[in-house]
Amino acid sequence: MKGAAIGIVEVSSIARGYQVADAVLKRADVEIVVNRTICPGKYMVLISGDVDAVNASIETGIQVGAHSVVDHFIIPNVHPDVFPAISGVAHLPELKALGVIEGFSVASVIEAADAAVKAANIQLINVHLAMAIGGKGFVVLTGEVGAVESAVEAGAAIIEKKGLLVEKVVIPSPRKEIIDEYI
- Is the preceding peptide bond at 40 cis, omega within 30 degrees of 0? yes
Q: Are both 22 and 70 inside the same structural domain?
A: yes
Q: What's the pLDDT at 83? A: 78
Per residue in 102-140, pLDDT (tens digit) is: 999 999 999 999 999 999 999 999 898 877 777 789 999
User: Which of 15-19, 30-34, 78-82, 150-154 comes out lowest in average pLDDT?
Assistant: 78-82
Of 117, 118, 48, which Cα lies nearest the Cα of 85?
Answer: 117
Q: How large is the average pLDDT for residues 25-40?
A: 93
Q: Are both 101 and 53 inside the same structural domain?
A: no
Per residue in 47-58, pLDDT (tens digit) is: 999 999 999 999
Q: Are both 42 and 86 inside the same structural domain?
A: no
Per residue in 138-159, pLDDT (tens digit) is: 999 999 999 999 999 999 999 9
pTM of this structure: 0.86
pLDDT, averaged across the chain: 91
CA distance 101 to 78: 18
Give the number of domains in the chain: 2
Q: Are both 55 and 92 inside the same structural domain?
A: no
Q: Which domain holds residue 41?
A: 5-75
